[in-house]
Amino acid sequence: MAILDQKSILKSFVNTIPTSLIGLNRVTYLFENIEKLRSEDRVGIRNFFNKLLTSMIERDASDIEIGGHGNSGFIWLRIFGKKERVKDFPIFSEDEAALIILTLLNATQLKVLLNNHNLDFSYSFLYERKNEIVRFRANAYFELDTLALNMRAINNQLRSVESLEFHPNVLKTMSHTFIKHGLSLVTGITGSGKSATLDSIIDAHNKMDPAHIVIISSPIEYVHKSNVSIIKHREVGRDVASFKDGVTQALRQDPDIIVIGEMRDPDTILAALEVTDTGHKVFSTLHTSSAVESIDRIIAEIHPNEQERVRNRLADVLISVVSQKLVPSLDGKRILAKEVLIVNYNVKAAIKNNNTSEIYMMINQGGQQGMITMEQDLKRLYLSKKISLDTAIAYANNKTRIQQNLTAV
C-alpha cells in the first residue's frame, strides 16, 4: 500500500477526533476508539510501519523514534551513535503518530499504556529480504500529553564471547562449568551493549554446558534456541508479573543459571542475592558506569537497616563485574571498552569493611588475574589505533587517571 494511501487512512481516522478535544484528551479519544479502525486498515498501517523498520535495518540504525512533541513530526534514527531526523521519511502529525503506535499494541498493552503512561514491550515482523524474523525492544510513553515510541533493533547475529576479548580467567569466572554458583554483573549506561554481552555469554553456555537456563527480562530481546543447554524465556508483564516473581518462581523450575534482565529495585536485588545463596549461578545488569559504582549502587538501594547484611551477602556471592561502554571508533562505528573486576579475597574484604574506594586500585593492579580499569582499556584501544585520543579522554570515568596513563606511554 502506498504512503499516500496510508496517510489518507491516518488522516481520515484522526479527523474523527472532536475539535473541542485538546492535549491528553485527544490521545485518550484514540485509545477509546482504536477498535473502530477497520482490521484491514490496521494491518495496512502495521505493514507500512514494518517498511519503515526495514529501512531502519538497512541503514544500520540501532533505534527509531516516532511520535511525541519533541519529534516535530519527523522520524528520527540513531546510526552509529548519532541520532538524526530522517528527511526522506514521511512526516506525521502528533495524532497520526499516536494512531500508528496504538495499532502495534494488543488490548492488554493498550490498557497498561493508558493507565501507566509507559509500556515496555517486544515487537517482531518478517524481514522479507533475508526471510527471517527480526525483533525490537520497544518503549511507548507519553510526552507533553502526546504519545511517543522508541524501538531498538535486536541483533539477530550474536557476537562470540571470544570476540569480546575477555581475559581467559574472566571467562572462567563467568562459566558455569568452572564455577557453579555466584553473581556476575554486566553494567553500563543505556545503549552500552549490556544485553548483547549477556546474550554472548548465554550462547557460549548453550554450545557446551548441559544446563537449564532461565532468562527473565523486560522485554525479552534475543530469543535463544536450546542446543546443549535448555533455555527458557520469561518476559516481565507477559509471562510473569515482576522480576522478583520471576526469580522466586525460577527456584521451582530446576534452573542451573538464572539471567535477570535488570536489578532495578530493592526487591529484585534481594531476590537475586537470595537465589545466588541457594547455589545457583546468576547473571544480571545495572545502569552504572564502573565496577565500584555498581557495588555501591546495590548497597545504596537497600534500606539502611539492611545494608550491613546485604553488604556481607554481596561480598560472599559476587564473582565478577564487567562495566562497559560503546565508544566511537576511527572507522566511524563503535567499539567496546570495558572495566573488569574479579572478586578475590581482598575485594571481598573491601566490600565487607565498606572500603569500596580501595577497589579501583585493586583493579588497576590486577591485570594478571584478568582485571582492567576503564582507563587502562581506553588506553589499549588508543594505542592500537582503534579510537582517537579525544575519545579516550572523553569516555574515561577518571579524567585525571586517563591523562596520567597516557602521559606514561
Distance spanning both ends of the chain, measured CA to CA: 60
Please report whether residue 354 resides in a domain. yes
For residue 2, is pLDDT > 90? no
Q: What is the average per-residue pLDDT within 235-256?
A: 91
Q: What is the C-alpha to C-alpha distance for residues 318 and 308, in angstroms, rounded to an integer?
A: 15
Q: Is residue 398 part of a domain?
A: no
* 244 and 323 fall within a common domain: yes
CATH number for 66: 3.30.450.90
Chain centre distance of CA 219:
9
Please, what's the b/e burial string for 259-271 (b: 16 or more CB within 10 A of its CB; e: otherwise)? bbbbbbeebbbbb
Domain count, the chain: 2
* Residue 290 and residue 325 in contact, taking contact as beta carbons nearer than 8 Å: no
**Residue 332 identity (one-letter amino acid):** G
The answer to whether position 79 is within a domain reads yes
Confidence of residue 191 (pLDDT cuts 50, 70, 90): confident
Segments in 154-259 forming alpha helices (H): 168-174, 194-208, 243-250
Q: Are residues 189 and 295 in the same domain?
A: yes
Quote the CA–CA distance of 72 and 93 in Å, as a whole number: 8
Place of cell 588506553: 379
Nearest to 158 by CA among 217, 198, 211: 198
My answer on whether 269 and 355 are in the same domain is yes
Question: How does strand 212-217 pair with strand 182-187?
Answer: unpaired
Residue 81 confidence (pLDDT): 82
> Which amino acid, 16?
T
Considering the chain, what percentage of its residues have pLDDT values greater than 90? 83
Boundary of a domain, candidates 115, 133, 154:
154
Domain identity same for 20 and 130: yes
Q: What is the pTM of this model?
A: 0.80
Answer yes or no: is 399 within a domain: no
Are residues 204 and 343 both part of a single domain? yes
pLDDT of residue 1: 42
127 sits in which H/E element: strand 118-127
The band of 4, judged by pLDDT with boundaries at 50, 70 and 90, is low
Q: Is residue 389 part of a domain?
A: no
- Mark whether 131 and 225 lie in a shared domain: no
Same domain, 104 and 205: no
- The whole-angstrom separation of Cα 407 and Cα 404 is 5
Check whether residue 139 and residue 278 sit in a common domain: no
User: Are 106 and 248 in the same domain?
Assistant: no
**β-strands 118-127, 334-342: how paired?**
unpaired
Same domain, 308 and 242: yes
Question: For the segment 129-144, what is each residue's pLDDT rounded down to a tens digit?
Answer: 888 889 999 999 999 9
Which class for 400: exposed (0-12), middle (13-18), buried (19 or more C-beta within 10 A)?
exposed
Size of the chain in residues: 409
Name the β-bridge partners of 40.
none
Q: Which residue has the cell 572500603?
A: 355
Residue 409 lies in a domain: no
Q: Would you state the pLDDT for residue 83?
A: 93
To the nearest whole number, what is the mean pLDDT of the chain? 93
Q: Decide if 68 is inside a domain.
A: yes
Do residues 185 and 128 both lie within one domain?
no
Return the bridge partners of 342, or none: 320
Same domain, residue pair 135 and 182? no
Q: E-assigned strands of 274-317?
A: 281-286
